[in-house]
Structure 1
Amino acid sequence: MIGKTIDELKVGDSASFAKTVTEADAYNYAGVSGDFNPAHINEEYAKNTKFETRIAHGMISAGFISAVLGTQLPGPGTIYLGQELKFTHPVHYGDTITATCTVEELIPEKNRVILKTTCTNQFGYVVIEGKATVLAPQK
């Protein structure tokens, strides 16, 4: 299975992935990454933060962008080269996050694709915005 090649893509193409972020996701992410920041896993500590409760690791939602790129747009065979991220709103356990990637620029001579990347919650708040640079799959 191969994703879309540079010749099959066009500016404006878009794809999304949605998932509800759970407490289990955070504990699994902490175990894999080693990020045991108490803002994510310790409710007593988190009560004294500006969010007043635990928030999910931002990189969990950022991972949903990777899911779009690697499975849908451009899809299997895509190589991630870079990502700019701006975290704009906290993600709480139980929030459903939708990652959307939209082709902004095609650079055929380098087989590169620049995509706008956005993650929103179930209320429509943008929680992450940025840009990804990838190599499109080759046949």
Structure 2
Amino acid sequence: MFSSQYYEDYEVDTRRETLGRTITETDIVMHAGQTGDFYPHHMDAEWCKTQEFGHRMAHGTLVFSVGVGMTAGEINPEAMSYGYDRLRFIKPVFIGDTIKVTVTIKEKRDHPKRSQHGIVTELVEVMNQRDEVVLACEHLLLVKKKANHE
């Protein structure tokens, strides 16, 4: 479950893909309770019938949380999340949609203030069962360099 990977070990354009996970009504209800977001877009089926998409949709933050969680299979003790940039909710996710995530190493750069670390940028794309991108963002990893540990 632990796999050490230093900054130098990351290769741009390397990709990994998760298995699928179906979003359920329970997911939406629990997320609403945890966040306090009970907007009708997520909770009111009858109101949603009068709107553009016609159905209740998952919270964007739910899709983000589940998608990020799906990518966290192995723990790298040499890296930690440094944040997320350019987060976009591109298409709605509905009850019964199955999502999967593709992560692509997009870029590597030195950290401007921490010479013993680099920043690895991962492009995170969450797709539905029709392979349509529903969410995209960049995940920044703060990663230790090998030179400091050999």
Write the distance in 2 (CA, Å) between the matches of 1:44 and 1:52.
9
C-alpha contact 2:103 2:123 (8 A) present in aligned 1:
yes
Normalized per residue, the structure richer in helix is 1
The structure with the larger Rg is: 2
Write the distance in 1 (CA, Å) between the matches of 2:85 and 2:30.
23
Deviation at 1:54, TM superposition (A): 0.5
What is residue 21 of structure 1 aligned with on the other side? Answer: 23
Deviates more, 1:75-84 or 1:118-127: 75-84
What is residue 124 of structure 1 aligned with on the other side? Answer: 131
TM-score where L is the length of structure 2: 0.79
Deviation at 1:103, TM superposition (A): 0.4
Say how many residue pairs are matched.
138
Unpaired segments of 5 or more residues in structure 1?
A: none
Deviation at 1:47, TM superposition (A): 1.2
C-alpha contact 1:6 1:108 (8 A) present in aligned 2:
no
| 1:80 partner SS | strand
TM-score where L is the length of structure 1: 0.85
Write the distance in 2 (CA, Å) between the matches of 1:137 and 1:41.
43
Q: Sequence identity, in percent?
A: 28
Moved over 6 A (4+): none
The RMSD of aligned alpha carbons is 2.3
What is residue 10 of structure 1 aligned with on the other side? Answer: 11
What is residue 114 of structure 2 aligned with on the other side? Answer: none
